Amino acid sequence: MPEPRAQSLTLNLSDARLAADLRLPSAAEGLVVFVHGSGSSRLSPRNRQVAEYFNGRGLGTLLFDLLTIEEHVQDQITREYRFDIARLSRRLVEVIDWIGTDAELQQLAVGLFGASTGAAAALIAAAQRPQAVQAVVSRGGRSDLAGPALGAVEAPTLQIVGAADAVVLELNRDASRQLQCQQHLEVVAHATHLFEEPGALEEVARLAGDWFERYLVAPAA
């Protein structure tokens, strides 16, 4: 498969200018928007590894910073922004709306791949934009922080949690009971919160890729 077309972007939102990286394989039908978690950024090696795997399966990817450079620096000291779910979800909704106005990207089915606190923002955005978001995957996500929005999510949702990530696993089980959409909780054996164990992140990518292919890519005729 040829290399995906890569493009660096600046997303001009109502309250911030955010850096983004777009990669589009030829004939892509789906676009996965990454919503990174606590203290991370679009340059996260884990997310970039998963994005490359998605590209290899013909899915486009958009990785963007949810915080400005100044906010990110401040957050490293105070942690005040990483749990500001309202700010993160509001910015994600604006990005989703921008995708809907782009002549090329609006043709693609949109999925959200959220990690840690970013998963809560992804679920809230999916609840607020049910016509625009076709699927959600949470990796070690704090789905519980989506609060009442959980019951309003319509997009098929996959939660992936490490078996050794006991606290987050229980929070995801509780979120699973609140979700009313088609959903599944997948537990990766022996994995901890960051899926750093050999083969764990690869398993996350495979599970998420299967989910996105199922809901973002039209069945072959």
What domains are there in the chain, each with its CATH number?
5-216 (3.40.50.1820)
Say how many CA atoms lie within 13 Å of 103 toward its Cβ: 0
- Chain centre to alpha carbon of residue 39: 15
Task: For residues 195 and 213, give the distance between their C-alpha atoms in angstroms, rounded to a whole number.
Answer: 22
212 and 50 Cβ atoms separated by less than 8 Å? no
Q: Rg for the chain (alpha carbons), in Å?
A: 16
pTM of the model: 0.94
User: Amino acid letter at 134?
Assistant: Q
**What's the whole-number average pLDDT of the chain?**
93
**pLDDT band for position 221 (50/70/90)?**
very low
Taking residues 29-42, report their average pLDDT: 85
Dmax (CA) of the chain:
53
Residue reference for tokens 């599970």? 207
Among 1-5, 77-81, 98-102, which range has the highest average pLDDT? 98-102
Q: Where are the beta strands (DSSP E) in 38-182?
A: 60-64, 109-115, 133-139, 157-162
CA angle 159–37–130, rounded 5-degree value: 55
- For 14-25, b/e burial (b = at least 16 CB within 10 A) is eebebbbbbbbb
Q: In terms of pLDDT, which residue wins out, 123 or 37?
A: 123
Distance CA 50, CA 201 (A): 8
Alpha carbon of residue 5 to chain centroid: 20
Handedness of CA 182, 214, 153, 86 (dihedral sign): positive
